[in-house]
Structure formats: C-alpha cells, structure tokens
Amino acid sequence: MNTDRTSINIIFVCTGNICRSPSAEGIFKSIVAENGLEDRFNIDSAGTDSYHNGEAADSRMRKHAGKRGYSLTSRSRKLNHDDLEKFDYIIAMDYGNYQQISRYDRKGLADGKLCMMNDFSAVFEGLDVPDPWYGGPDGFETVLDMLEDGCRGLLEYLKKEYEL
Ligand code: 4NP
C-alpha cells in the first residue's frame, strides 16, 4: 500500500482480516469510486491477529458481499506499527479491536487517528460491527448493512473535512 501525504489514507481493522475489515475496504472503495474520488484515497485493511495471514476473505463473506455487488480482493495481514504511522484514519470494527490497537500502539503513533466504524454510522450509531465468524448467514448480512451505513457516513465526513 502506497500511502503518501497527498492522499487520505484509511485502514479498516478487525480481528482476522477475513470478514469485516475486507468488507469495509471493498464497500468504501466502491462508494469512493461512485463519487469519482479514487485518486484522493488509499484504502486498506488489516487484522489485529495473524491466524489467517495470506488468506483471501472468508468465502461466506465474499458470497454475501458479491450479492450486493462488492468484490473482496484483499489478502489477510496483521496490522503493524508502520500502518499506525502511515495511515490517517485507523478504523476499528468493534471495541475489542479498538482496545487491542490502543495497547499495541505503545509509542502513540495512532494518537488522534484511531476511531470506531460506528463513529460514522447514522442508523447503527454506537454499535460494534459484530464478528460473523461463528454465526449464520444473517450475521454476514448485518455486517454488510452496518458497513454500508458506516462507510457512507465516513465519506460524508471526509468530504466536509477535506472539502472534496
Ligand atoms: P473478522 O472475523 O475479524 O471479521 O475477520 C474473524 C475471523 C476469524 C476469526 C475471528 C474473527 N478467528 O478467530 O479465526
């Protein structure tokens, strides 16, 4: 991922980087493209854990996302200290992820950059994006509903912030 000072650098973070954050990445990329703003953004995702390092997004997640027209192409990787430094917004899917990133950030590299996906939600304000890994199909649909809402809110926020 080529982060640079002229782009707005966004990374979505969940636990395994195979369900929620790859979906957030795919949805946000799609909304940014609809708005013709691809050139202004670097968009990535990562996990707090490395269990699924190198894996494609979960097949169930890809199937549900695909039905809504999103293609999930990321490969799982663990969040690293470089990410904390390079990205402008580090967006956690749930409060456990938020706490884990805070603890990992011993040097305060993410100070002022760490936020929750639900900070930008209108409909799902205040709610974690729940881990769908052990649940049924409804869980994947809920994740997508929440991420569509949050990603739209995030872009509206950034449009104002950067006068896009
Ligand atoms: P994610 O979901 O954090 O949305 O990618 C998970 C996927 C796998 C595991 C946990 C969460 N796992 O424990 O293997």
In a domain, 1, yes or no: no
Query: Which numbered atom of ligand 1 lies nearest the CA of 16?
Result: 5
In a domain, 104, yes or no: yes
In a domain, 2, yes or no: no
Which of 11, 12, 13, 19 for mutating ligand 1's site (highest number of atoms within 8 Å of CB)? Answer: 19
In a domain, 105, yes or no: yes
In a domain, 3, yes or no: no
Binning pLDDT at 50, 70 and 90, where does residue 2 land?
A: low
Which of 53, 131, 134, 142 for mutating ligand 1's site (highest number of atoms within 8 Å of CB)? Answer: 131
In a domain, 65, yes or no: yes
- For residue 129, the domain's CATH number is 3.40.50.2300
Least confident segment among 21-25, 45-49, 66-70, 135-139? 135-139
Catalytic residue check, 131:
yes
In a domain, 87, yes or no: yes
pLDDT tens-digit series, residues 50-103 = 999 999 999 999 999 999 999 999 999 999 999 999 999 999 999 999 999 999
Q: Which two tokens stand for residue 115?
A: 């936020």
Catalytic residue check, 149:
no
In a domain, 49, yes or no: yes
Tell me which residue has tokens 């650098």: 9
Q: Which residues line ligand 1 (CB under 6 A)?
A: 14-20, 51, 131, 133
CA of 14 to the centre of ligand 1 (A): 7
Average of pLDDT values for 37-52?
98
pLDDT tens-digit series, residues 12-41 = 999 999 999 999 999 999 999 999 999 999
Number of domains in the chain: 1
Q: What is the structure's pLDDT at 78?
A: 98
Domain of 78 in residue numbering reads as: 8-161
Q: Which two tokens stand for residue 92?
A: 């956690």
Ligand 1 atom 10, closest CA: 16
Q: Name which of 156, 147, 160 is nearest 25 in CA terms.
A: 147
Whole-angstrom distance, CA of residue 110 vs CA of residue 126: 21
Catalytic residue check, 115:
no
Q: Is the pLDDT of residue 42 over 70?
A: yes
Q: Is the pLDDT of residue 5 over 70?
A: no
Give the distance from CA 3 to its chain's centroid. Answer: 16
Which of 20, 58, 83, 94 is the catalytic position?
A: 20
